[in-house]
Structure 1
Amino acid sequence: MACATALTVATAGFAGGAFAQSLRVGLAEDADVMDPHQARTFVGRIVFTALCDKLVDVSPDLKFTPRLATSWEWAPDNKSLTFKLRSGVKFHDGEPFDAEAVKFNIERAKTLPESRRKSEIASVEKVEVVDPMTVRLVMSQPDVTVLAQLSDRAGMMVSPKAAKEAGANLGAKPVCSGPYKFVERVQNDRIVLEKFQDYWNKQAFSFDKITYLPIPDSTVRLANLRSGDLDIIERLEPTDVKTAKGDANLTTTSAVGLGYQAINVNLANSDRAKTPIGQDKRVRQALELSLDRDAINQVVFEGQFSPGNQYFSPKNFYYNAQIPIPQRDVEKAKALLKEAGVKTPVKFEVTMSNSPRSQAVMQVIQSMAAEAGFDIQLRATEFATMLNEGTKGNFEANQYGWSGRPDPDGNIHAFVTCKGNLNDWKYCNPEVDKLLDEARTISDQNERKKRYDAAQAILAKDLPVITIYHESWIWGLKKSLTGFQPHPDGMIRLENVKKS
């Protein structure tokens, strides 16, 4: 049924030559709300890459590059950041983009009750319009992470007029300024965009219509690509790479990612946190010791990913080498459970995505943990639903991760600070807050790393988030598709991509 549905949707609306060229993109999940100030999903960011232009972008080598801002300059004390803006830019509703629009967007991201960007730009005290095409962000304290935040959803610009009219419901019909504008969305079925003819760089975008199709089953995604009903798929499974490479009509490409996948444990978000694993860090330490991360990587991913135990991969500058990945130790895990005085087997539920990858990972973990005295119940659900339930505290633990950010702050601050907007497990340690807040003010890499090292030493014991692995982004494409450039953030950028 899933395959039939995907095929039907993928081919609908393209007959009759209504569009010169269309692109069909297979996503591993459905996006959540299509408002960059409220959104939190990885696939949502993929759609936003075409829909919502941002002030700056990131190159494949993680350098910041101009988009809606053509240049920027920090004040000597790192307490203000001034942007020169691109002229001649319009929002999809025809409204002009200018410094007032930037001011509105930053203030909306900070004040909209539903905004998930608040902690990302909390240090921005005020926004000053210097002139129509110059805007200055004034910080309450030095914060070198702001530029990186503005290279993602916090820096995406929505039409002030549309946002004022729609309020928190903007996601139902988003109005941005990207190369493609919103047409329609059918939940769990498709998101359709069409080319914006007034885009400032429209000549670099070849397709007249983009359709994003959420297809959680990786086998179905690949089958649709092979049959010609999709043009590109994200997160090609490592186990499918050999098959894709063996197809003369396909090609694959990859990039090492910036993020991580983890088990997140509810510590204080509703009564569902009142479990042994939620209330005693020794139980969480025991669970970690029951895991063999190398075996998980080999069994599930054929060795193509990287085992990990921190918010940064072992190859990242900010990885704390003094906290290596712990080796599996079932006896020590049992001893910790005994010391904690908990009844065994320790029962708890892990909510996970209904994607085959998440299920495969958790089934291996379930088996490993059982040997140490855990009884893990698995509940699969649609990804966006899982995130919504997490926000409400309706989980004991869940399995998902983070796609990663170029600045280390983006991988950790929002997840483990007391008021972090993505801290659904409600972990709170003032010392961790102090260290991570300090790291935001320091431009020297080595000094910043000292703060992250100290914070991770605490987090490695408290374990609100148990990191399991770091993935590589793998894409499958039709060979007729040219110009696609893989990025370590996993986004699908369509600039200069063509179909022959």
Structure 2
Amino acid sequence: MKKILGLLLPVILIGVLAGCSTAKNEEANVDSQSVGIAITGDAHADALDATSYDSEMAIYSAVYEPLITYGEKGDYQPGLAESWDISEDGKTYTFNLQEGVKFSDGSYFDAEAVKFTIERAKKMNPTTTLQTLVHLDKVEVVDSTTVTLHFKKVSNQVLAELCATRPLRIMSPNAVEDGQVGGAFQKAIGTGPFTVGTSTEEEVTMVPNPYYNHENPLTYQVIFKTITDGSSRALALRSGEVDIAGGTLGQIMDSDLQSLADSDDFATYQFTGTMSHFLAFNPDNTTLTSDIRKGIELAIDKESLSDHDIEGLFQSSVQYVTDANQTTVSYDVDEAKKTFEAAGYQMNDNGFYEKDGQDLAFDLVIQTAEFPEWKEQAEVIENNLKQAGVNITINTLDSESYYDVLWTSKDFDMILYRTYTDALLPYNFLNSLFYNTGDSHGVLADDERLSTLLDTYAAAANEAEQQSIFDDIFKELSDETLAIPIDYKDENFVTTSKIKDFVFSGLSDAPIDYQQLVVK
């Protein structure tokens, strides 16, 4: 299965306007065109608290803005904060805020709003692993445009975490009951381009924030439409039901992408991404030892799964990744078989390896709502491993059941998953899924050396030391085959002729630069 994305040009010229609808937006007092955007799940706009994880990822950035914006490989840029200073010991961060910015209710953004948001995020997320919240000692309001975060220990991920789509984008205290840190959420009030209009399970309409960009609001509204199937998202583009689809908003099948790219009615965009897709293992499965995992990796033909040259778990666009610290594992079925045999397995009459009467057999859990290509990739992996004497059963789940299996029931042997993106790579991703706590092993690994290395990195304030530690982390991931990368994902989007220009924000989980989006 050669992926067709390599055939797509980074930018294909946009066609002419096919038509547009207008609606009077009384709140912003402008005539707004409607732009339909495909997403994979119910938006849950009624729960769009900036400090929560309760709504669809894609809609947070339409309402809330960050203090810091993501720059390539950790080159962070100003957001609501114009500048910042970090103490030499890595324990104190002072942010100088923009002046004259207003929330969508007309109240002013200031240091008190920053303090409220961060304290609320800490209160509402007691089990978080984010350094900004776990290590927080206090938030000090110096004056209306200056706020200082004091931490109990070195915190080298603060800028990265402030970039993320949630839970640290800034919200107004007026969004909750009585403006209290622990108050019940009432209404999404941010400084971003939109406010929530009407919403159902199928779609949510967001109208321009009249106070956005110093009271220079956008002239279009957006309608996020829930479409859970990749092929259906392509059909929605063709019918004009949506005008933008792709990326982490809602991926489209590769074959559909090529077909849409061939049409003059659509524009196709490709941007460098940071996400990887990988095969992960259940650390509770004692059969899946390091040697067996290594044999499985040797048996998988990665060239048939991706147009990219697959090396380590993370793409070269990820911070700390260099040519020198990545390891390539080449496809070698014979070597895979030798690995299994060295572990005491013998081929049986059914063509599978067995030991002590048990086949070398595993279930592979996937979902296709967010990642439709996983069906075909899982079938390739199943066939590859069959040739190497490993019996794989593919279990395709709906999105909700898939995440329940991953995070709660742990009812899987192997699972296809994706890395986080951008500023949350590589540390926060690994800390979230591969780190052993005092109570239990990681979600996807039980590796004490890796956990120790992650602890060492978290306490390192010096950039050279941080790089050296991650060189060791990448080596441990490869040596122990803790995850098998199968694809590096670009950011691919398709727009209808209603969109004159589409600009990638640079942040995978909030990909649309609404201010630069040009609607005809």
What TM-score does the superposition give when structure 2 sets the normalisation length?
Answer: 0.79
Hey, what does 1:276 align to over in structure 2? Answer: 287
Q: Residues 274 and 314 of structure 2 are in contact (CA less than 8 Å); yes or no, is this contact kept in structure 1? A: no
Kept in 1, the 8 Å contact 2:503–2:516? The answer is no
Q: Which sits farther off after the overlay, 250-259 or 69-78?
A: 69-78
Are 1:498 and 2:518 counterparts? yes
More helix per residue: 1 or 2? 1
Structure 2 counterpart of 1:5:
none
Q: CA RMSD in A?
A: 3.4
8 Å contact 1:318–1:408 — kept in the other structure?
no
Seen in structure 2, the aligned counterparts of structure 1 residues 392 and 61 have a Cα distance that, compared at 3 Å, is closer
Shift of 1:127: 1.7
Cα shift at 1:247: 1.7
1:62 CA displacement: 6.2
Aligned residue in 1 for 2:28: none
Cα distance, 1:204 vs. partner?
5.6
Q: Does the CA-based 8 Å contact 2:40-2:228 persist in structure 1?
A: yes
1:286-327 CA deviation, whole Å, 9 max, x = no partner?
222221111111xxxxx2x45343234488652463542211
Structure (1 or 2) with the larger CA radius of gyration: 2
Shift of residue 55, structure 1, vs aligned partner:
0.8
In 2, Cα distance between equivalents of 1:176 and 1:395: 39
**Residue in 1 that maps onto 2:170:** 157
Deviation at 1:372, TM superposition (A): 2.0
Code of the aligned partner of 1:401: R
Written as runs of structure 1 = structure 2, the 5 A alignment for 1:329-344 is 329-338=332-341, 339=343, 342=355, 343-344=358-359
Q: Report the CA distance between 1:115 and its aligned residue.
A: 5.8
SS state at 1:414 partner: helix
Cα–Cα, structure 1 residues 109 and 444, in superposed 2: closer, same or farther, change >3 Å? Answer: same
Picking from 350, 356, 366, the partner of 1:351 is 366
CA distance 1:51–1:115, shift in 2 (3 Å): farther
Question: Relative to 1, partners in 2 of residues 1:16 and 1:75: Cα closer, same or farther, differing over 3 Å?
Answer: closer
Post-superposition offset of 1:452: 0.8
Post-superposition CA distance 1:37-62 (Å, at most 9, x none): 44399xx4432121211112125786
Q: In the alignment, is residue 405 of structure 1 matched against residue 417 of structure 2? A: no
Does 2:399 align with 1:383? yes
- What amino acid does structure 2 have at the position aligned with 1:347? F
State the partner residue of 2:222: 210
Bigger shift: residues 475-484 or 31-40: 31-40
Q: Structure 2 CA distance, aligned partners of 1:167 and 1:351?
A: 38
1:117-196 alignment runs, 5 A limit: 118-119=130-131, 121-152=133-164, 153-163=166-176, 174-187=188-201, 189-196=202-209
Deviation digits for residues 202-229 of structure 1 (CA, Å, limit 9, x no counterpart): 526231x211123243332223223322
Give the secondary structure class of the aligned counterpart of 2:402: helix
Contact 1:312 1:411 in 2 (8 A): no
Quick one: distance in 1 between partners of 2:112 and 2:314? Answer: 36
8 Å contact 1:60–1:486 — kept in the other structure? no
Q: Which moved more, 1:86-95 or 1:44-53?
A: 86-95
Q: Which runs of 5+ in 1 are unaligned?
A: 1-13, 268-272, 298-302
Q: Are residues 1:327 and 2:340 paired?
A: no
Q: Does the CA contact (< 8 Å) of 1:234 and 1:475 recur in 2?
A: yes
Secondary structure of residue in 2 paired with 1:101: helix
Asked if residue 103 in structure 1 is aligned to residue 115 in structure 2, the reply is yes
Structure 2 letter corresponding to 1:405 = D
**CA-CA distance at 1:475 after TM superposition:** 0.7
Task: Name 2:465's counterpart in structure 1.
Answer: 447
State the identity as a percent.
22
Counterpart of 2:332, as a letter, is: D
How many residues of Structure 1 are paired with residues of Structure 2 in the alignment?
469
**Would you say the 8 A contact 1:70–1:85 is kept in 2?**
yes
TM-score by length of 1: 0.82
Deviation for aligned residue 1:361:
1.5
Q: Distance in 1 between matches of 2:449 and 2:161?
A: 23
> Could you say what secondary structure the match of 2:137 adopts?
strand
Whole-angstrom distance in 2 between the partners of 1:172 and 1:332: 59
Distance 1:462 1:54 in 2: 37
Aligned partner of 1:254 among 256, 270, 274: 270
Aligned equivalents of 2:267, 2:254: Cα separation in 1: 14
Q: Write out per-residue CA displacement over residues 329-370 of structure 1, whole angstroms, 9 at most, x where no aligned residue.
A: 223333433416553231224232344212122121111122
1:245 correspondence with 2:261: yes
Gaps of at least 5 residues in structure 2 are 1-20, 26-30, 346-354
The Cα shift of 1:196 comes to 1.7
Describe how 1:39-50 pairs up with structure 2 within 5 A: 39=53, 44-50=56-62
Supply the distance in 2 between the matched residues of 1:398 and 1:172 (Cα, whole angstroms): 37
| Number of the residue aligned with 2:33 | 21
Note if contact 1:110-1:118 (Cα within 8 Å) is conserved in structure 2.
no
Q: What's the CA shift for 1:498?
A: 2.2
Q: Equivalents in 1 of 2:73, 2:407: separation in Å?
A: 33
Query: Are the equivalent residues in 1 in contact too, given 2:23–2:32 (CA < 8 A)?
Result: no
Question: Which amino acid is 1:447 matched to?
Answer: E
- How far does residue 493 in structure 1 lie from its aligned partner after superposition? 1.9
* Matching of residue 290 in structure 1 with residue 293 in structure 2: no
**Distance (Å, rounded) in 1 between the aligned partners of 2:322 and 2:152:** 28
Separation in 1 of the partners of 2:73 and 2:302? 28
